[in-house]
Structure 1
Amino acid sequence: MSTFSTAITGLKAYQTALGVIGNNIANANTTGYKASRAQFSDLLVQTLEGASAPTGTTGGTDPLQIGAGVIVGGVLNIMTQGAIEPTGRSSDIAVQGEGFYVLSSGESQIYTRVGTFELDANGNLVDSGTGFKVQGINGDISIPLGSNAATPTTQVELAGNLDANAADDPLTLTVDESALDTSFFIIDSLGGKHSLNVTFSLPGSANTGVWDYSVEAASGAGMTGTMVGGASGTSGQITFGSGGSILSISGPGAASGSFFFDPQNAAGSGGPGQEFNINFDALTGFAAFSNVAMKQQDGVPPGALSSFNIGSDGKVNGIFSNGLVLEQDTLKLATFSNPAGLLRLANGQFVETPNSGVAQFGTAGTGGRGTIVAGALEQSNVDLGTELVNLIIAQRGYEANAKTISVANEIQQTTLNLLR
């Protein structure tokens, strides 16, 4: 009897559906998991009698067909967005929107929505589950684990005021109100820190808005280095106007001048010394207390990597102990014409297939790609309530097909009993 074979196809189909549903339920809390759905299709039908056309005396008849059962026509990938859950771990990231991270297995490219990344012993950003290297626009993303080189000072900016009413008071024998000493530091190419002094003084007894300045290396225990008299020397003059702003600067502090410092170590060998500029433009000449200090300088000592972060645009930044934040690379994201056509692998990973389309690469926030959420992970997109309902439906379908076999067996037994 064909009833047996038809019912068996139903058992097989619902058994497959139960397997798909069970896998969804098992992965309800799996990071980055994408649910699946079994799609049923009817089998070939048996045509017992074809259709006939109407005649002048009778109407037409429909075809007489009997179905042969059901098959699982496909298992569809449901690629909808999962919920974003914060983890507090800076190397965990999630994509809000379209796109897959790109991993390299050494032989092929792998795609995933699971952003559980970490640095390996060589400083490579890798998938924590498989060790596959995370890809950036420049290839493997690598963050240096050692110390980064020092950046020597090239620019120092001073800010403050030089008193327009300054004059030496003869009653204060230990203090010269017509002069001001302040200090600042510079960094040499080896990362050494050197203290320098700058002295501002009036060139005469009357205050005419003109101040002399002179720069020299600080002396004392542990102090090294000397100022080198370059083409502009180590001293000059600043002239203030009636509004308290600078009218002119002469000497090495002028726009075309430079200071030279010999740190008396390997950083200063083979040359006239380390060249740097002092920017006096932020100084004022108001009738107020004299006070000048270093506002900023651009030198940076060497530093080791302390941590890293990934921005919403996918930029990977190394954070160093000297305060530097250096961009290392930018995450590469892939999009597909048909992401449901990707072939699943383990660990929430996929590979390209002819029906997924060719991967289109770009960065976060471009070409319809989503943005990066740092310190968070994308959760499974399984709707547990829907899956439990589907589980009941599949169970009932399986039981109904089993009942069909039972009834067909009873009918066959009844037929055999006619011969007794």
Structure 2
Amino acid sequence: MAFNTGLSGLRASQVDLDVTGNNIANASTVGFKGSRAEFGDLYASGFLSGGSNTVGDGVRVQDVKQSFGQGNISFTDNGLDLAINGDGFFVLNNGGEIRYSRAGQFGVDKDGFITNNQGMRVQGFIADDDGNLSGIRGDLQIESGNLAPRRTTELQSDLNLDSREPVLERRVADMGDFSVAPPATGFPQETFEITYDDGSVVTTTINPTNVGDYSAADVVDVLNGPDGLSASATTQYEGISEADLDAAIAAGNFSFDLSVGNVNVPVDTVSVTDAASLVTAINAAQAPTVSASLVGGNLRLIDNRGNNLTAGFSSDGPSQAPETTVGTVRPQADREITDIASTGGGTNLTASWTSRSINITNQFTPDDQRTYNHATTTTIFDSLGNSHEITQFYVKQPAPGDGVGVSEWSVYLQIDGEFVGGTGTNPYQARFDQDGNLQSINGDPNGQILVDDWTPKAADGTPNGADGPPAPGTNITTPIPEPPTTSAFVLNLAETTQYGSDFGVTDQQQNGFTTGRLSGLDVSDEGVLFARYTNGQSQSLGQVALASFSNTNGLSPVGETTWVETFDSGQPIIGAPDTGTLGAIKASSVEESNVDLSAELVNLIIAQRNYQANAKTIETSDAVTQTIINLR
């Protein structure tokens, strides 16, 4: 009996030594889970022979159980090294056999599959071409080919337009030219009333003292006084023929009389030989606002200030007495003036007002920053992945109606310097409410502008072969449906505001990109593999799958730090990391062995002592038996 009891103890101690030695040997094995030997005592008893003083028959090994406790997580420089922080196992495809492991030392094989160092492929949830994850499980693969370009179908601009900005665009009423008919030598007296859009009235008078030679320049001085009213004037004289001048100069003793604004201007005629040289002499005289020329056989004199011009000549031959010409006035009134009414006098200013036409004196010009308040530029892409610059121009407009509780801005769009969206002739009108929020764009409360007239072009201005605008009459819906087939895209300004602060771009995003090459990989805590490309884009390639079991201890170890499913473990529950009871993924990390080396060394001493003690039991039994044999 004692021999068997001691022998069972030796066997158990040997198993304990083997388990402890295996733990110590794998203390540095990534993903390894330590084991322990579990023992049970042996008793031999029959149905009717059980007693209170039964002697045991020794010990037996009941089980070698693994501890699946969490190991320490250490960082590495390999982006595909993955550690599980929590419950779960990586799912590995070993040539059709499914294995499970906690060792996350992964890499990429020649075909782009993610594998462990034994060539087993990591399984996960596959992503489609657009990076959308599916519930389909398969071997994770990294496509090393170029990322195909994507055309821009939506551009979102979140801006703030400064409500303090002035209205730059100046609309004026061009009232046409008016003058006095000969033989008048000046404009007569006239008083008129100017009515403004706020109801105020201003009275002003032309030629208040009723002098006879009141010039166009004098009228301009008066009209430039009231707010919103301006004028310019010119005087043109053509009363002398070139042939008469040539004859008079040839006759000798020639002199030319010129007065500008009743001031005599001496003209040096000493070296004058013909009408052409007289033009040179007049232009050299001390009259900087007057220019002379020969036009249609006549001498033309122009004063660009509107002063009265008096001209004549004398000689030993033909002569012409001085004649006076009164200039022409060109008045303009801006939008704040609603009416001009004559209250006395005889000019035709009032008649000119009634036939006025509205003109824009500083029409929006993209090359002149004085004609717009704000501008911002971003990059968009055509179907071939070519980049293009789109610029948005914002021009503040007078508030519609009475201006209470509403503001309005004009929106112009250019791509590569060419107007799109029809904004070259008809800009979009963005209207804001009293709180600075966008009400509508051209009446659309969604704040969207559909650009459907853009033809992508190369640097030389010719179409570059990318998809162009839709055919005439094609109905374009927004958002642009996938897959897009034209260059049409939507500019979304729904989040644009108009506050009393500086202009700023809060956010500007577009969904297009050019082609790109794979430049790196990232793995999230949810196990999603993101591919980074040289065009700045990232796209999910798949998601690592994790498996859990109802009875983890029922798994059967098969080497290579892997386990397989057994009847005792139950079927695996496979899901995404960091969901349910499954742990999170830590990238560039591995889970170390959970073996406590100090504890194992102590266990080694204990197993050794147990082995020695059981051997001593056998030795003692042998001595007792020998004593019995030696009895005579």
Normalising by structure 1, we get a TM-score of: 0.80
- The answer as to 2:96 corresponding to 1:104 is no
CA contact (8 A) 2:412 2:424 kept: no
CA contact (8 A) 2:23 2:600 kept: yes
* Max Rg structure: 2
Shift of the 186–44 alpha-carbon distance from structure 1 to 2, 3 Å rule, reads same
- The answer as to 2:146 corresponding to 1:147 is yes
Tell me by how many angstroms 1:354 deviates: 0.9
In the alignment, the residues of structure 2 paired with residue 72 and residue 227 of structure 1 have an alpha-carbon distance, to the nearest angstrom, of 86
- The answer as to 2:486 corresponding to 1:260 is no
Tell me by how many angstroms 1:17 deviates: 1.0
Q: Which residue of 2 aligns with 1:134?
A: 122
- State which drifts further: 65-74 or 262-271: 262-271
State the identity %. 35
Shift of the 412–262 alpha-carbon distance from structure 1 to 2, 3 Å rule, reads same
SS in 1 for 2:539: strand
In the alignment, the residues of structure 1 paired with residue 16 and residue 505 of structure 2 have an alpha-carbon distance, to the nearest angstrom, of 79
SS in 2 for 1:265: coil
Of residues 164, 167, 172 in structure 1, which corresponds to 2:166? 164
Tell me by how many angstroms 1:405 deviates: 2.2
- The answer as to 2:383 corresponding to 1:189 is yes
- State which drifts further: 113-122 or 208-217: 208-217
Tell me by how many angstroms 1:364 deviates: 2.2
Shift of the 74–203 alpha-carbon distance from structure 1 to 2, 3 Å rule, reads closer
Shift of the 87–286 alpha-carbon distance from structure 1 to 2, 3 Å rule, reads closer
In the alignment, the residues of structure 1 paired with residue 8 and residue 430 of structure 2 have an alpha-carbon distance, to the nearest angstrom, of 99
In the alignment, the residues of structure 2 paired with residue 259 and residue 109 of structure 1 have an alpha-carbon distance, to the nearest angstrom, of 53
Q: Which amino acid aligns with 2:466?
A: A
Q: Which residue of 2 aligns with 1:34?
A: 33
Shift of the 246–40 alpha-carbon distance from structure 1 to 2, 3 Å rule, reads closer
- The answer as to 2:104 corresponding to 1:115 is yes
- The answer as to 2:65 corresponding to 1:76 is yes
Shift of the 351–283 alpha-carbon distance from structure 1 to 2, 3 Å rule, reads closer
Tell me by how many angstroms 1:84 deviates: 2.1
In the alignment, the residues of structure 2 paired with residue 363 and residue 288 of structure 1 have an alpha-carbon distance, to the nearest angstrom, of 47
Shift of the 146–8 alpha-carbon distance from structure 1 to 2, 3 Å rule, reads same
Tell me by how many angstroms 1:39 deviates: 1.4
Q: Which residue of 2 aligns with 1:57?
A: none
Cα-to-partner distance string for 1:280-329 (whole Å, 9 max, x where unaligned): 55666789988989933322112222222222222222222222222222
Tell me by how many angstroms 1:142 deviates: 2.0
Q: Which amino acid aligns with 1:314?
A: G
Shift of the 279–38 alpha-carbon distance from structure 1 to 2, 3 Å rule, reads closer
CA contact (8 A) 1:341 1:355 kept: yes
- The answer as to 2:306 corresponding to 1:318 is no
- The answer as to 2:553 corresponding to 1:340 is yes
CA contact (8 A) 1:185 1:194 kept: yes
CA RMSD of aligned residues (A): 3.7
Q: Which residue of 2 aligns with 1:237?
A: 428
Of residues 542, 557, 569 in structure 2, which corresponds to 1:329? 542
- State which drifts further: 357-366 or 277-286: 277-286
Aligned length: 394
In the alignment, the residues of structure 1 paired with residue 572 and residue 432 of structure 2 have an alpha-carbon distance, to the nearest angstrom, of 65
In the alignment, the residues of structure 2 paired with residue 198 and residue 400 of structure 1 have an alpha-carbon distance, to the nearest angstrom, of 91
Q: Which residue of 1 aligns with 2:477?
A: none
Of residues 587, 591, 595 in structure 2, which corresponds to 1:374? 587
1:331-410 counterparts in 2 under 5 A?
Answer: 331-410=544-623
Of residues 295, 316, 335 in structure 1, which corresponds to 2:508? 295
Shift of the 105–203 alpha-carbon distance from structure 1 to 2, 3 Å rule, reads same
Q: Which amino acid aligns with 2:455?
A: D
In the alignment, the residues of structure 2 paired with residue 133 and residue 402 of structure 1 have an alpha-carbon distance, to the nearest angstrom, of 49
SS in 2 for 1:268: coil
SS in 2 for 1:143: coil
Q: Which residue of 2 aligns with 1:249?
A: 441
Normalising by structure 2, we get a TM-score of: 0.55
CA contact (8 A) 1:227 1:262 kept: no
Tell me by how many angstroms 1:210 deviates: 6.0
Q: Which amino acid aligns with 1:136?
A: G
Unaligned residue ranges in structure 1 (runs of 5+):
52-61, 220-225
CA contact (8 A) 1:28 1:381 kept: yes
Tell me by how many angstroms 1:189 deviates: 1.5
Tell me by how many angstroms 1:342 deviates: 0.6
In the alignment, the residues of structure 1 paired with residue 119 and residue 539 of structure 2 have an alpha-carbon distance, to the nearest angstrom, of 24
CA contact (8 A) 1:236 1:250 kept: no
Tell me by how many angstroms 1:161 deviates: 3.8
SS in 1 for 2:629: helix
Q: Which amino acid aligns with 2:552?
A: P
